[in-house]
Structure 1
């Protein structure tokens, strides 16, 4: 064994656990899922293994009307959640970037929404939106915005909105912390120079803050899209995909294929489609980052 190999061997030993973890718990499940998506694997032949059927699972899924409902709901849900989470998170970050008494205390209180398990959050908001004893209907009726209680989770027109509101409440603190950290790391001398040159607050925000925050906002958007796109917990707890598929999303559609219909091949196809969509989003992010660095 030569000297260079002796020197590099400890380095490889240190990264070996990480490599094993990634292979066993990330690469292998993804590869296995892709293989299953090309098989006729159901509960009937789960022990013996499914036969290869090519793209049939993908064709059946894409031809399903429920798939397009889930796809549409997923994009509406993701876009709405990300928009409100980032905008409100940005405004709160600007607010908490100011110096005022008990700033850290109020910031830590806001973090409770993000730290609370989604099972508890979903159950809490299910009670809040309840048609009979929900606090939201009670408040809206007291301020005379509505005359009768709204069945938020029981009708098609409002169910998805209620779920979006829940997830926005969960995601705002995460966006706020990331954006606030970036704001606090911005160079102060640039702002001092802008003030000396006579720039007002709006000009400083548009010409200095936003351009310097662009890399952080890209990260926040991509992380938020990936996290939101694979929503499952809140949907399962609050609506179960109903009523009449009003809150049906792709991850929940894949769950139903596997654990309701016991069609594991079709479920694998749905999961592979989700993976492909998220990979395309990640590639767009990498392209934008590369373009930003080269400019």
Structure 2
């Protein structure tokens, strides 16, 4: 390779390197630095926060909020992923049959994905309102009393999970439907000639050949769901009494939700979320091998 070709290669690579450095590497470095120092509002502005090592992480792990928040994060993520993937896959298989108006209906299913999250979360807050929500009104028509969806510790986490599932289904539908389009049709024709039922074709052809697409769909969904903040914050603010608090909402509350912000512990919680996402990525790479 000539020196001119080498310079040209670096010139094409430079914008990507600058972008990754400015918007990924530097913020990660700053977040790590925040988590290793004792920041106050004054020191945050002046930049003279003392180094305190892992004290912020010890503070976070010893806080009584940590373990419930971690459990809520895991439940929220697992339930959302399982339901989004299962419903998205079912819809993808359904629309893969190419019936009239299939394209129109598929486009309508994309609406939750296209709406701003603040609109979606506000709509669900109105629907699940204890006094004037349409869900309780519908339950009242069949003789079921009102449910405090957003203000009861028993229902708050379930409510935000349902809203997040609704928002995430279109993503799973689009990606899995694209994967279905790549499966050769002659495989289904051959299976039908051999007498395979629709269920057998799904488990013997569709599901195995969708495995690579399914894995990347689940990985992307996992990374996104771990850091979901806006839906929960708008609907319940992590309450009541921490019943729907996740690591993402707790991190925000530590850093920005108090009169005396705790920047160091808030950054430490954020870094724990990054570690969880990194572990998921490593599991995905291992699975691909």
TM-score computed with the length of structure 1 as normaliser = 0.94
Q: CA deviation at 1:40?
A: 0.7
Specify every segment of 5 or more residues in structure 1 that has no aligned partner in the other structure, as ranges.
291-295
Q: CA deviation at 1:49?
A: 2.2
Q: CA deviation at 1:201?
A: 1.5
- Which shifted more, 186-195 or 207-216? 186-195
CA distance in 1, matches of 2:17, 2:80: 34
Q: CA deviation at 1:115?
A: 0.6
Indicate yes or no: 2:124 matched with 1:89.
no
Cα distance per residue 1:74-109 (max 9 Å; x no partner) = 000001111110011111111111121111111111
Q: Which residue in the other structure is 1:12 paired with?
A: 10
Q: CA deviation at 1:188?
A: 1.3
Indicate yes or no: 2:247 matched with 1:250.
yes
Q: CA deviation at 1:193?
A: 1.7
Indicate yes or no: 2:103 matched with 1:132.
no
Q: Which residue in the other structure is 1:205 paired with?
A: 202
CA distance in 1, matches of 2:136, 2:86: 26
Show structure 1 runs of 4+ deviating over 6 A: none
CA distance in 2, matches of 1:41, 1:56: 12
Q: Which residue in the other structure is 2:67 paired with?
A: 68
Measured on the aligned residues, the alpha-carbon RMSD in Å equals 1.1
Cα distance per residue 1:174-198 (max 9 Å; x no partner) = 1011111101110112222212222
- Which shifted more, 5-14 or 115-124? 5-14
Q: CA deviation at 1:24?
A: 0.8
For residues 1-295 of structure 1, the aligned pairs below 5 Å read 4-46=2-44, 47-144=46-143, 146=144, 148-259=145-256, 260=258, 261-290=260-289
* 1:208 to 1:48, Cα distance in 2 relative to 1, 3 A: closer
CA distance in 2, matches of 1:99, 1:191: 15
CA distance in 2, matches of 1:212, 1:66: 43
What is the total number of aligned residue pairs between the two structures? Answer: 286
CA distance in 2, matches of 1:41, 1:188: 60
Q: CA deviation at 1:243?
A: 0.3
CA distance in 2, matches of 1:151, 1:190: 50
Q: CA deviation at 1:283?
A: 0.2
TM-score computed with the length of structure 2 as normaliser = 0.96
Specify every segment of 5 or more residues in structure 2 that has no aligned partner in the other structure, as ranges.
none
